[in-house]
Amino acid sequence: MVDASKLRAGMTFTTAEGRLLRVLEASHHKPGKGNTIMRMKLRDVRTGSTFDTTYRPDEKFDQAIIETRPATYLYQMDETAFFMDTESYEQYEIPVVNVEAELKYILENAEVKIQFYGTEVIGVTVPTTVELTVVDTQPSIKGATVTGSGKPATLETGLVVNVPDFIEIGQKLIVNTAEGTYVSRA
């Protein structure tokens, strides 16, 4: 059991109704009158829906034990993403709605970690940084420096990040997957 006040972004817990929820954002809020409340942005792991809610800091929840296993992203077909366990070669099908954000950072045959709640596949963890190629951006400006305001660049997975003015189409970039930001050229 864990108190609502101890829940942090990334943690997963179950409610009394049996819902499996992942914390996206959590913050203490002290209104002018009354007791402190916990404001949270949560994602229902099974349905993929996100919602905002509040809890009393002393409310208790069962923390979900999430196990991870190494896997390879194979491909996406219709509304399903296919992954293969690199140890047992077992294949897993995950609805795209559950891994939509993660798919923006991974290419076919990329190494990931599949998350399990018991025997149920609930999601994917991507590396902290990935290397992706620029497929579309404005032409580079001669004499551009790193300190410029930047420009948007579309990467091979469809992800759009803000990059310095000197970046050109075809260059490989290192991207931070936690924030979705440009780190450097590869």
Global confidence as pTM: 0.71
**pLDDT per residue over 122-156, tens digit each?**
888 888 888 888 888 888 666 555 556 778 888 88
Between CA 13 and CA 18 the distance in angstroms is 10
Quick one: 118 exposed, middle or buried, by C-beta within 10 A (0-12, 13-18, 19+)?
Answer: exposed
Q: CB–CB of 30/39 below 8 Å?
A: no
> pLDDT digit string (tens) for 32-90?
777 888 888 888 887 778 889 888 888 888 888 888 899 999 998 888 889 998 888 88
Contact 80, 73 (CB under 8 A): no
Q: What is the pLDDT of residue 143?
A: 59
* Structural domain harbouring 19: 2-63
Helix or strand or coil: residue 126? coil
* Predicted confidence (pLDDT) at residue 119 exceeds the cutoff of 80: yes
Which residues are 76's β-sheet partners?
Answer: 81
- Picking from 63, 80, 103, the residue at the C-terminal end of a domain is 63
Higher pLDDT, 178 or 79: 79
> CATH no. for residue 114?
2.40.50.140
Q: What local confidence, expressed as pLDDT, does residue 55 receive? A: 85
Domains of the chain: total: 3
The closest of 65, 20, 16 to 42, measured between CA atoms, is 20
Residues 133 and 116 in one domain: no
* pLDDT over threshold 80, residue 186: no
The whole-number pLDDT of residue 150 equals 79
Tokens of 93: 């099908």
pLDDT at 180: 80
